[in-house]
Amino acid sequence: MNTLETIDQRRAVKHYDPAHRMTEAEITSLLEHAILSPTSYNIQNWRFVVAQDPEIRKQLREAAWDQAQVTDASIAIILCANLNSHLNPERYWKNAPEEVGKMMAPMTTGFYEGNEQLQRDEAMRSCGIAAQTIMLAAKDMGYDSCPMIGFDPEKFARIINLPNDHVIAMMITVGKSAQPARGRGGQLPLSEVVVSEKF
Amino acid sequence: MNTLETIDQRRAVKHYDPAHRMTEAEITSLLEHAILSPTSYNIQNWRFVVAQDPEIRKQLREAAWDQAQVTDASIAIILCANLNSHLNPERYWKNAPEEVGKMMAPMTTGFYEGNEQLQRDEAMRSCGIAAQTIMLAAKDMGYDSCPMIGFDPEKFARIINLPNDHVIAMMITVGKSAQPARGRGGQLPLSEVVVSEKF
């Protein structure tokens, strides 16, 4: 599907066919596209927790205000980030000329080190970018998705054994739509969200 | 272009044809697609500052470590967010049945009110999602882009008259590529960033 059409047709779908299962090849393809998303300094700070197991998803649903899509979609992907991804950055340049890695590595660590707000901002920013990659890729593959932040992040952290230096940014369910999304609720006009040159 | 191909071919491009100008129709189309990006509670908290003016872009470039793409690309879009977008949320449901707006509005305000970290997280998350929409839409329209956080946010805030209750999340340059991007620097394997069920 044409990219502009995909952007137009992607909607948050909450009702899924619970009998439908994505194949492992489809799930892998979705994630292979997700990791083509850009990250600042190429730190690839996202971590994608793929929940398929019915028992784990039951626990996640309970911690997500009992929203049905958590168990009914084919998969739920919890987008987390490693807040320490700015450490050991040489690995992000292993295919680049040696001088690139030598220049980028100390810049990367220096940019983030000791700045906890920036590390957290980067977690949310990177996961946001990757989230839209996943939602658009899913749509192109014939699936629908639902981005979610309506859950208890502390309960989620316990369920998925989240390491202390990681943070959860959001969750996305992906599956076969059983019912179309409602119409768009009320888009602000471009004139309210676009600013020419300065406020 | 097929969406999966677009995701694969999008790269951060730093060298642009400075003579090329996007038309106003192209810029509007790009932004019309950007605002189809999902936001939590439909709060549409992003604000897109479109910089075309050469004098303003010169100032932005100076505050962005003199990176050439800031002035050489056709446009630079500074993605900001209104941290108070959770106030007066009825407007986000004007096309929905009345009971939807009545239910969602108090939930929205209550969810964010008094939680400054959550408001900031939402700024970064929403702008991240919209950023990827812009970068993929641009690619589909025959353009390239570069996501950037390498600039002085306080200087940027002064240049664009950023309101006190807004925050800058990132910048994206969009234009006609003059030189292809370098190869991907060093992608982490799926096994390092994908977790099955739990850490």
- Write out pLDDT tens, residues A33-69: 999 999 999 999 999 999 999 999 999 999 999 999 9
Contact list in B for residue A81 (CB cut-off 8 A) is none
Q: Residues A156-184: pLDDT tens digits?
A: 999 999 999 999 999 999 999 999 898 89
**How high is the ipTM of this complex?**
0.98
A117 pLDDT higher than 90 = yes
Supply the pLDDT for residue A90. 95
Cα B193 to Cα B190: distance, rounded to the nearest angstrom: 5
B100 pLDDT higher than 90 = yes
Supply the pLDDT for residue B120. 98
Supply the pLDDT for residue B1. 84
B70 touches chain A (CB under 8 A): no
Supply the pLDDT for residue B186. 94
Instruction: Tell me which chain B residue has its CA closest to the CA of residue A167.
Output: B121
User: What is the third-level CATH fold of A3-179?
Assistant: NADH Oxidase (3.40.109)
The alpha carbon of residue B164 is apart from the nearest alpha carbon of chain A, in Å, by 11
Among partner residues B46, B131, B133, which is closest to A193 by beta-carbon distance?
Answer: B46
CB atoms B126 and A128 under 8 Å: yes
Residue from A156, A150, A171, A151 nearest A79 by CA: A171
CB atoms A48 and B140 under 8 Å: no
* Structure confidence at residue A1 as a pLDDT band (50, 70, 90): confident
Q: Which CATH architecture has domain B3-181?
A: 3-Layer(aba) Sandwich (3.40)
Supply the pLDDT for residue A102. 95
| Mean pLDDT, residues B13-38 taken together | 98
* Structure confidence at residue B150 as a pLDDT band (50, 70, 90): very high
- For residue B171, report the phi and psi dihedrals to the nearest 5 degrees: -130, 150
Q: What is the DSSP string of B17-44?
A: -TT----HHHHHHHHHHHTTS--GGG--
Interface of B with A in 141-180 (CB under 8 A): 141, 147, 149, 159-163, 166, 169-170
Q: Residues A16-42: pLDDT tens digits?
A: 999 999 999 999 999 999 999 999 999
* Percent with pLDDT over 70 in chain B: 100
Among partner residues B42, B50, B187, which is closest to A185 by beta-carbon distance?
Answer: B42
Q: Which of B3, B31, B92 to mutate to test the interface with A (most CBs of A within 10 A)?
A: B3
Q: Residues B28-53: pLDDT tens digits?
A: 999 999 999 999 999 999 999 999 99
> Quick one: how many helices (H) and strands (E) in chain B?
8, 5
CB atoms B169 and A125 under 8 Å: yes
* Structure confidence at residue B76 as a pLDDT band (50, 70, 90): very high
CB atoms A194 and B136 under 8 Å: no
Supply the pLDDT for residue A182. 87
